Structure 1
Amino acid sequence: MNPADTPAARPAGAAKFVEGRVVALKPWTERLYSIQVDAAVEPFRAGQFGRLALPGEGEMIVRPYSFVNAPFERPLEFYFITLANGPLTQRLVKLVPGDPIWIAPRASGFMTLADIRDADSLWLLSTGTAIGPFLSICKTEEPWRRFQKVVLVHAVRYARELTYQDTVRAIAERRGSQFAYVPFVSREDTDFALKGRVPQAIEDGRLETRVGVPLTAESCQVMICGNPEMVSDTSQVLEARGLKKNRRKDPGQITVENYW
């Protein structure tokens, strides 16, 4: 047999992954990208993450990224920020449609509605690329069946980083007054976003005033996903109000996930 006719060898370490193909790569800013992938993965819950992989020096380079697409949507989509020395992100941004990419066949993570009790309102608090799992959740029917109000908060440094605006508008048009979107911009002034950080806006009441819905232990569930400092500080502010961490054996109102 001619060596050219033999199947290409799988990269070292690829046996644990499903091989897919890049559908599209979208640059949002000089550092923010989303990538769409066609791959046969097992069913997952909105809010979970997959593990993307590319061949490195003798092994696969693997990193977790949350699904932006809802479980019923294809292609798969992931939102990420490039790191100057990031071994995977610097490879991801060079991919073009049709290129191979590998993904773990089974999703992981507990940032889902599975273990969250019903309440009057659901607050989805995110920074940066951590809006991804919340967009996946908002595209499903579950939050709209279980909560009277769904609040999506997206905190960034600059207004140009408020990405996925078409998706947010589509959710708003479909869900009407049941949905509230609150952008935060910390490093420049705008005429539409709240200024500063999420925990301070909770502490001083600006966030509740903007939404018109109380943030109390009796009325809400809060999911927090983002940089560790925001997650920690916001959790502390909420705990001072009487909310507590949500655990399977001890249900509460705060569900968290650090995004790095």
Structure 2
Amino acid sequence: MAAWVEGHVIERIQWTDTLFSLKVEAPLLPYQAGQFTKLALEQGERRIQRAYSFVNPPSSPYHEFYLVEIPGGELTPALSALAVGDPLLVQSQATGFLTLDEIPAGRDLWLLSTGTAIGPFLSLLTAGEAELRFENLILVHGVRKGEELSYQPLIAALKSQLGSRLHYVPFVSREPWPDAMAGRIPAAIDSGALQERVGLGFSPEQSQVLICGNPEMVKATQLSLIEQGLTKNLRRTPGQISSENYW
């Protein structure tokens, strides 16, 4: 069983009323971009813990997590109340298989996310390996309201660094928003609207697709991609679709 270590909040970012990020200092074991660990707080005699992905690249001197406060939740309201200097527990050993060493070769890397599940994809993009392995990088982020399109400064820096190789496509489902596509990601794949927006299609020969989001989104997107001719990526039978449920 992985050990728990004490960490301390070194910065807190409030994106919206419910979305926030914590930057944490903690002596963790080495990990890969795309992985996750667990955060915990002691509440009486109970240790309340949940899994959260790293937003930062592994080379960063801190560990960053992107969270949504769930009203009435056991942990996130308490995490949201933490201030700089406050302690929390962090599991020292990261895990997860949404990493580039699990992904076969391809030309186009599609990163399809909703909500706070954009976190591991930002880690992958800032780590630098993705740009060495793939010609085109497509970051797709679906949210309900435009204010939830967090990390815009980081995305702008990545666009400046990678130029036309990085395609950023926001989706906003509940209101019109400048430069964002309406509706949901699976429907846009089914209609071809997403492919038209990016200027690239899905193909078994050229595409690798990583999906991270709520289970309903992951399942629906997988089905849409299978209709495009792609298959799930398994160690024994490599394919093009890799996914992780984000709760």
TM-based fold match above 0.5: yes
Kindly state the Cα deviation for residue 250 of structure 1 after the two structures are TM-superposed: 0.5
Rounded Cα–Cα distance in structure 1 between residues aligned with 2:178 and 2:3: 49
1:169 maps onto 2:163 in alignment: no
Displacement of 1:185: 0.3
Query: How big is the shift at 1:85?
Result: 1.6
Residue 136 of structure 1, aligned match among 123, 128, 131: 123
Mapped pair 1:160 → 2:158: no
1:159 maps to amino acid: G
* AA in 1 matched with 2:120: P
1:57 and 1:236 map into 2 onto residues whose CA distance is 44
In the other structure, the counterpart of 1:4 is none
- Structure 1 residue 190, shift from structure 2 partner: 2.0
Counterpart selection for 2:8 from 13, 18, 21: 21
Are 2:45 and 1:78 equivalent residues in the alignment?
no
Shift of 1:191: 2.9
CA deviation digits over 1:12-33, x for unaligned, max 9? xxx9311111111211101101
Report deviation, 1:218. Answer: 1.7
- Percent identical across equivalent pairs? 48
Match of 1:225 among 212, 217, 224: 212
Number of the residue aligned with 1:10: none
2:32 aligned residue (37, 45, 52): 45
State the secondary structure of the residue aligned to 2:226: helix
Structure 1 partner of 2:132: 145
| Number of residue pairs aligned between Structure 1 and Structure 2 | 246
**1:174-213 mapped onto 2 (5 Å cutoff):** 174-213=161-200
Gaps of 5+ in 1: 1-14
Secondary structure of the 2:139 match is strand
Cα contact 2:3–2:93 (8 A) shared by 1 = no
- Matched to 1:128, the amino acid is G
**TM-score normalised to the size of structure 1?**
0.93
Structure number with bigger Rg: 1
Deviation at 1:196, TM superposition (A): 0.2
Aligned to 1:101: 88
**Distance across 2 between alignment mates of 1:154 and 1:45:** 21
- TM-score, normalization by structure 2: 0.98
Q: Is 123-132 or 137-146 further displaced after alignment?
A: 137-146
Which amino acid is 2:119 matched to?
Answer: G
Q: CA deviation at 1:194?
A: 0.4
Match of 1:7 in 2: none
Quick check: 2:13–2:21 contact (8 Å CA) kept in 1? yes
Q: 1:184 and 1:217 mapped to 2: Cα distance?
A: 25
- For residue 249 of structure 1, report the CA deviation from its aligned partner: 0.6
**Matched residues in 1 for 2:118 and 2:4: separation?**
26
Give the ranges of 4+ consecutive aligned residues of structure 1 lying more than 4 Å apart after TM superposition.
none
**Partner SS, residue 48 of structure 2:** strand
Specify which of 7, 13, 17 is matched with residue 30 of structure 1. Answer: 17
Which one-letter code corresponds to 1:232 in the other structure? K
1:57 Cα deviation from its structure 2 partner:
2.6
Post-superposition shift, 1:59?
Answer: 2.2
* 2:106 matches 1:119: yes
Instruction: Write out aligned runs for 1:240-255 (5 A).
Output: 240-255=227-242
Match of 2:75 in 1: 88
Shift in Å, 1:86: 1.2
Partner-residue secondary structure (3-state), 2:100: coil
